């Protein structure tokens, strides 16, 4: 059974995603949970703290989901999943919620953006080292630089290409990134493996 603070965060998260952060007041959250504002303030001193807690919850849920997704997978299979998950997250994110977050809670926005960028960088770095150890990636890669480059570029590039005057399908964008990254980092064994994946996929 979730405790009261967790229930407040879960409820606020649902309301923020549905209506945006600015449109949802502390009164709305209290009404939804049938609690008093006095009870709310025993857990959060202000709305900004609640917004921060909502983002922390999302981060925790994402981490648990990624752990299950990547379990017992090799580096290439994990890399393909990483790119697909980044794309999926962009599709599922509430645009109103994140617009409100950036405009009205810039301190919280910057904090979580920096954390998310660092986590993506760390994830790419771990993937690169795993791929080198497994013999799928080139062993002369500059792991630190490549992981930093991708963590900064992939999300922004996805968004910019989707907003460009010429519309690209999401499937095409994902396949482009997978192809681009694999050919940048994979050795002959890795390229052969990705070709086998593509061949098997076309047969199904």
Q: What is the pLDDT of residues 124-165, one digit of tens each?
A: 999 999 999 999 999 999 999 999 888 777 767 766 776 676
pLDDT confidence bin for 33, thresholds 50/70/90:
very high
Q: Is this model's pTM higher than 0.75 or not? A: yes
Show the domain range for 35: 1-72
CA dihedral 168, 172, 177, 178 (to 10 degrees): 170
Residues 133 and 192 in one domain: yes
- The two tokens of residue 141 are 């890669």
Residues 164 and 65 in one domain: no
Residues 196 and 179 in one domain: yes
Q: Does position 199 have pLDDT exceeding 50, yes or no?
A: yes
Find how far residue 149's CA is from the centre of its chain.
Answer: 16
- Under DSSP, the state recorded for 57 is H
Higher pLDDT, 166 or 14: 14
Residues 44 and 131 in one domain: no
* Length of the chain in terms of residues written: 204
Answer with the one of 72, 99, 120 that is the final residue of a domain: 72
Can you point out the beta strands (E) in the chain?
Answer: none
């Amino acid at each position: 059974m979730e405790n009261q603070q967790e229930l407040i965060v879960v409820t606020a998260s649902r309301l923020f995603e549905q209506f945006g952060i600015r449109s949802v007041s502390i009164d709305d959250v209290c009404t939804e949970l049938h609690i008093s504002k006095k009870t709310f303030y025993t857990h959060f001193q202000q709305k900004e703290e609640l917004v921060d807690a909502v983002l922390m919850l999302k981060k925790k849920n994402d981490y648990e989901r990624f752990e299950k997704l990547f379990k017992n997978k090799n580096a290439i299979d994990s890399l393909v999943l990483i790119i697909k998950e980044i794309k999926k997250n962009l599709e599922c994110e509430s645009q109103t919620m994140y617009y409100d977050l950036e405009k009205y809670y810039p301190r919280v926005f910057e904090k979580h953006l920096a954390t998310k960028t660092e986590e993506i960088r760390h994830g790419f770095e771990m993937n690169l080292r795993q791929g080198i150890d497994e013999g799928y990636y080139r062993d002369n890669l500059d792991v630190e630089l490549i992981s930093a480059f991708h963590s900064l570029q992939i999300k922004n590039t996805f968004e910019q290409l989707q907003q460009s005057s010429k519309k690209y399908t999401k499937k095409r964008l994902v396949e482009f990134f997978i192809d681009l990254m694999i050919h940048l980092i994979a050795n002959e064994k890795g390229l052969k493996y990705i070709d086998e994946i593509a061949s098997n996929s076309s047969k199904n």
